[in-house]
Amino acid sequence: MEYPIDQWVELESFERYREWKTPRGFLCGTYASSVLLAYWQDQIDEGCLPNGLREKDSSQNEELIRALQPVLQPVDFPTVPLQISMGLNRFFRRYRIPYRARGTAAGTWQRVTKRLLAGEPVMIGLLQLLGSSYKNHWVVVHGFMETADGQRYYKIHDNWGKSAAVIPAEWGNGTISLRKVKSTANN
């Protein structure tokens, strides 16, 4: 995988989701998932969300959050990649949307760079144990950079009001990415 050194590789701005903040008392996995899905709907494929749940390019996310919360975080516990990917897959099945979420439990760099080079954002889990000042948290990565001396960084939407925060890639542990699947229905 080739990419430029000392230069950001990034997707279109996430500024439009800047106001999408995780309210106090709620968990970040659902909110980061809403940003990931909204970006997909707005920039990649309008059909990744059911009709009527959210209008393309809308600044509203309340209905989407209400639909995601029961399948991603039915109990108010912190989330791990498997829980988020399984919840998103339940969401896609419920609405008969031909998408699947893929979760990885460790590492992030290869998955993130591959998906971003393909034009797709990726959710990552941040771990306090790995040095994250966010503690344990979910964010959406929309840019990356590797420096000539081997330092790696992500540009993230942190769903606490920063749509272009920069963090060390070493904080990441676990990813969630989406892919469209071929329909198996017989017509």
Return the closest-CA partner of residue 159 out of 22, 59, 26, 25: 22
pLDDT tens-digit profile of 77-109?
667 888 899 999 999 999 999 999 999 988 899
63 occurs within a structural domain: yes
Domain of 135? Answer: 20-180
Binned at pLDDT 50, 70 and 90, residue 76 comes out as: low
Q: How far apart are CA 69 and CA 64, in angstroms?
A: 9
Does 186 reside within a domain?
A: no
7 within a domain of the structure (yes/no): no
Domain-located, residue 8 = no
Confidence at residue 55, expressed as pLDDT on a 0 to 100 scale: 93
pLDDT tens profile 106-129: 889 999 999 999 999 999 999 999
Q: For residues 63 and 51, what is the distance between their CA atoms, to the nearest angstrom?
A: 12
12-70 pLDDT, tens digit each: 878 888 888 877 666 788 999 999 999 999 999 999 999 989 999 998 888 998 899 88
160: in domain: yes
Which of 88, 175, 179 is CA-nearest to residue 139? 175
Report if residue 14 sits inside a domain.
Answer: no
Give the C-alpha separation, 63 to 7, whole Å: 37
Q: Give me the pLDDT at residue 187, please.
A: 42
CATH number, domain containing residue 111: 3.90.70.30
Is position 82 within any domain?
yes
Residue 10 within any structural domain of the chain: no
The two structure tokens encoding residue 41: 């709907």
Number of domains composing the chain: 1
